[in-house]
Amino acid sequence: ATPTPTAAQQWTTDANEALSLSLVRAPDDKASLWAREVYEGFHPTFTYPIFGEEEKIYGYKELSIDLKFASGSLVQYLNVRYAEKLPSSSTVDDVEGTISKFIPPGYYTDEQKFLERVEHDALNFKPFGQKIYSYTRAATTLTKGKNVAISQVLSPEDQETVDFEVYHSTWHTPGFREFHRRMQLFVLLYIEGGSYISEAEDTWEFVVLYEKRRRRSSPDVTTYHFVGYSTLYPFYCFPERVRLRISQFLILPPYQQDGHGSALYTAIYQHVLNSPSIAELTVEDPAEAFEDLRDRNDLKMLIANEKFMREGFGPEAVSSNGGKVARTKRGKSRTMRAGAGKMGPPAERAWLEKWRTELKIAGRQFNRLVEMLILKHMD
């Protein structure tokens, strides 16, 4: 028999379950790609930065916290509901008071007014900054792993492809600072150990990914819907360039597992390659899932580079040492490794360094990638 909960347990709620998030589209934009199950009522992974280490809220029964975002502008609506609340005392959590410390003032509490704003923003919101990357997806791939049937989200007359665009901005991009204040909550809710960045630090850069849609009723009207973003910090790199570091990186749950993280990472990498002032791309304290995403995309990029692969891993690229990996793994004495031809270790190091600087990959990451390619070539 399940033990009867103590009085304290009866009044305690799991904050991650109680808090539910929604990305709200105007009715006219919903028909295109829309499933309530996917875009409304998803939950945070973490709430400890807001509600404390235990991620519990005390003093309520049937507590539900509804935090909605206009899908493009991220204008917010907050509603706290419960069946019962303990008489006010110092131990009862002030839910709205606590959350309001983490979101900018001026959020909506009147749902009707919020929905009017959603409608207004749907027509008026445009991404901030400069477009640096775009890609297109077949609409049918967009529900993979979401546990919803494609027929639930797409009507027969729906568009067959969906565009996604990445925009680059800084604190100086008009309107972006306010947008960032609404967006940054996602860092606390989804990145372990994540915290707000300082607006006083002037050099931050940002890339934001949006889904771009044409309205069903008026296809000439374009609407934008937030998918994810990354914060980037440029460090001085001797003698006259910068090393760009990915600091925060996230894709919202409704869009995860569809390759958007990879696309956003690729957008950042292409931006680095295209910017003469940037020497290399690095990552701050990557979570395992992000490390995985980075490895997969970097490897794909290297394997697609014919010249690099031919010089390093082609038939003539067998060098005199470095067979250690091969021998320990397979017991074979093959010594294939990166490095052109029969050049000795110093020349090989120079060859690797030449490619590393050209491809703007950080040293430790490049070494890991080369190791992985060696292992792959053993098979």
19-24 β-sheet, strand order:
40-42, 19-24, 64-70, 76-81
226 part of the interface to ligand ACO, by CB under 6 A: no
Residue showing tokens 């995985």: 292
- Single out the segment in contact with ligand ACO by CB under 6 A; choices: 74-82, 248-256, 318-326, 360-368: 248-256
- Single out the segment in contact with ligand ACO by CB under 6 A; choices: 73-81, 211-219, 244-252, 299-307: 244-252
Decide if 66 contacts 20 (C-beta within 8 A): yes
Decide if 337 contacts 325 (C-beta within 8 A): yes
Total residues in contact with ligand ACO, by rule CB under 6 A: 24
* Binding test (CB under 6 A) with ligand ACO, winner from 29, 165, 211, 258: 258
Residue showing tokens 């939950």: 43
287 part of the interface to ligand ACO, by CB under 6 A: yes
* Binding test (CB under 6 A) with ligand ACO, winner from 143, 248, 282, 319: 248
Q: What single-letter DSSP state applies at residue 87? A: P
Decide if 298 contacts 305 (C-beta within 8 A): no
Specify whether 291 is catalytic: no
Smallest gap from Cβ 257 to ligand ACO, in A, equals 4
129 part of the interface to ligand ACO, by CB under 6 A: no
144 part of the interface to ligand ACO, by CB under 6 A: yes
* Binding test (CB under 6 A) with ligand ACO, winner from 185, 293, 326, 369: 293
Q: Which residue, among 11, 261, 303, has the nearest Cα to 145 in the 3D structure?
A: 261
Beta-bridge partners for 194: none
Residue showing tokens 């990472």: 265
Decide if 207 contacts 180 (C-beta within 8 A): no
162 part of the interface to ligand ACO, by CB under 6 A: no
- Single out the segment in contact with ligand ACO by CB under 6 A; choices: 89-97, 290-298, 323-331, 358-366: 290-298
Sequence-separated (6 or more) residues with CB below 8 Å from residue 254: 23, 38, 39, 42, 146
Q: Residue with the closest Cβ to ligand ACO? A: 261
Smallest gap from Cβ 105 to ligand ACO, in A, equals 26
Smallest gap from Cβ 259 to ligand ACO, in A, equals 3
185 part of the interface to ligand ACO, by CB under 6 A: no
Number of H helices, E strands in the chain: 16, 14
Residues near ligand ACO (CB under 6 A): 141, 144, 190-191, 246, 248-251, 256-262, 283-284, 286-287, 289-290, 292-293
The residues annotated as belonging to the active site are 284
